[in-house]
A and B are shown apart, each in its own frame.
Chain A
């Protein structure tokens, strides 16, 4: 009886909502359809709803020809779903046990459940009226949450968030008689402030398109990918075509024939992120998975882990408590290949900037080791040690030499907390090979004078020192991304072990991580997969999967291709790789092959986003792969027409995060960046309002995937009947937010600031202090996994000995010539020591992460960022990528400031604009990685790009044989003035109307 009343009540509620909200009434209207709800037992209550006008009508009993039927096992089941305060988990569990089933039209079934959901949400208020016709919404980006001001459906401005009296107090750290408290606002970057220009870009894809000469039933003309223009088609045509190809490829080629490809980053938001919506869609199809390097962590994952563990962080160190410790205890910070003022740690804009300036002002000395006088060095000052790229481990060994010979290392710590030191000592002293690794020895390699090394080693060896190694403090940075990247990261761990890693004032860090936020308050990171339901390849298993009821999702195809070998897989038909497997130190040894036994070669690629050309080494190969007949179908789902999208057969236009719902916490990645919010001055969790309507015909990624899923009968499985807003709420409910703020208030206000920890009342543990003091681990870090401990849970490190190992026991278990168990110096396989090559290409190109774009995001696309001449330079109407070169090197080549130059080696050429600078020593040139523009000029075999993809010049060789660690910073080139620009034709931008 209750169920019968509830079903009748649904009609009443829908019509009431329609009377109040015209948009809802319009939704009810449309084509005629009948939705029937019934019990499996025919005697139970049943009701059918007839849609087709602004009012829904329903009748008891069964309809003869319903379009959709929701069948419940019995009344009790139905009541659990319909009763007031019903738990979503119940519905999910019933679905998993087939106590609830949906049959009939998949799209209509979702439409019906979404309609029921909209009854609640249609009245929710979002945004704040700020007068002058403007409404202020909230959103979030790759460098922070923002307010978005909108007028007449158009974005007026994007600003950081100024906190008000309703937001909690900020934290304060007392240090050396002074106190530091962060400003009451979020920081931001140029690329976030350029968001409006990214949304309203002439490169936006506004309609589905098909390559003009692609005929799935006839000539596919694969060789014309990248050359031919596109013709506009309807969404139905595009989606039907993609689904037909999915079906055909699975039927004809079978298991593993479809692969994915995507960038490592995305627009911000847990729901729209590729780890979420794309992942779930691809899992439902079954695909050969693209595996990443892991990019930016390379040397740490493949090297450092073997000495001290932390595989779950891909080799990065614990990030807790370091800001208070550093400001109070440290006397020196060594920034080694560490430029947080350019890369913002990880998504954190300029949150750490004022802390570092404060540290300088209270007298903490600073040293910067980097071939480039980076922006952190030029802001903070201190000693700059320019080093020959790729030789950093030699400098590290020489520092160890000074420490050993002058007794400047922590003998007690080394004796108690480490193993294998004697062997390392003997190597450094030359007992083993007759070559003492003295400051004089290293000078020939590094270009750093011996006297400078001695001064550095003594200062470091006598002062409590923080080592900021890489942009994050550990990981992220140039030196870990070269042929010697693993050696360098390994050396960093060994040096810190000699100085007592974890003791007061002695730690990894550059004041980027370890702020006194509340680490016990949970909000899921995007790396936990959002709505994916995938516990195998995301961090969902840690918390989200238990907190967010949903259907599971899993990829059934075991075949993998590492990102850097996609071209070989397609063109040669054979490739191998080593995986990211953070679960253990040794997982990375599990070499995999393509094609995998019993799997098809890849015949179809579902490409997500459009700019891998700017991030993969020697990526002209990718263009060749796209032009191959081996790849029968390429679909690209992208927001902008750039890079890869120009090599697709069908293009599906997605909208930006400003045009759809999403939710997320600033910087929070989850997964292998656990507690990434430790960089923040304030934890900010924001709903991401749909500030404007999607431009043109673009749609949210979720919507596009759902449409595909409908065609495969997977829509109700994919969406579980939920809208994107429902999924946002699902993330909200899964977090610790309920109880702190109501959903309605959160929606209206747009953000919530998590109050910081009261560290006076409850002090926070320091990274590695527990280890230094031989105690049980006390930092709030859920790794290593239980099996990662050798003796007792949460005692010791993840290494075999449980200690820091100078001689890595895990590396004894394989034979990788580039990674001997003892970290010996092996010169770069592409550097000044490779004399034959160096004679022909006497300039070392380093390509750090970019400062003014977030990787490829916000580069190109005609954004405001183009106007920053430190990023791109306007020459003859074209925005060329900036390459930095010493005036002496420029003069020797007849190159003047902002001249066009050709950077080249055997792998290809890139046309850039020269920026003359003394921030480099002669012989080194610097250009940022991650151009979003791939713009080949001339014939494909000429391999000339004028978009600025300097990575096309970098080697594909792995750092060492048994890794998949890329080494883009080991790159020898030559430069000459370029005069061919005027003659070079622009790449086909063309959209041809039918």
Chain B
């Protein structure tokens, strides 16, 4: 039985006990799924899980606090759920977690590039049909059908995924997969630039930010919601000017607030409508937290994030190199 069929069975089993089960269903174009909120067995018929199930559904859990819901999670999504549990943002008894071994999700931009950008000026919205079969994906655009290897078009985060399986679940279907290594090569590469170059890089990137705050709203661990510093009028922390300075300021606040909490799901960067690599800020912080506190967010629901507590002697921090 396919993973999708097994997941459908698991959802149907959970359905009578919950308000809804959050999963994925068909999206507005062949390249992506949309979140699906299943209340009836008919809804479950529309459920899909696989390389198109990109969005991290944990972002919706806080809206259902106090009502029991089910949620289908990939490995990365499950870490968000775990981190929310660790911070008591949601109650364990309110959520039924259905996990599966994720094989990676597709990156629409990579597919489009493989199909012939920039020479053919193709866009994701021109893809008429997409079929998944084993290790390959067959895409039809402008009347031309191309077969691609899934591994060549998966999201970059999937090629460094340490936790492909749900780290916490009530129901787990399928066979667990081996995790991969993440050596933070992207952060190293970025840090190889001079400080001046890095600043210029962000100045250029932030210039096209439209201040939609999708990076913030797609983040399951952004907790201030309607009371964000970025839009608060009283106090008036950030100006409404269309300047890289204010936009960068918000990104730095966001990344700092996520230090030791971010689970690296990558939704902030995926949500960005103008492709600003905002995930890099958080990746930098995650690496720092791992180095300083030997801590990874979203792995242990009982753990306290390092910046929400203190230890008189931090075991991993050697002051003045004294032994």
Q: Do A and B bind each other?
A: no
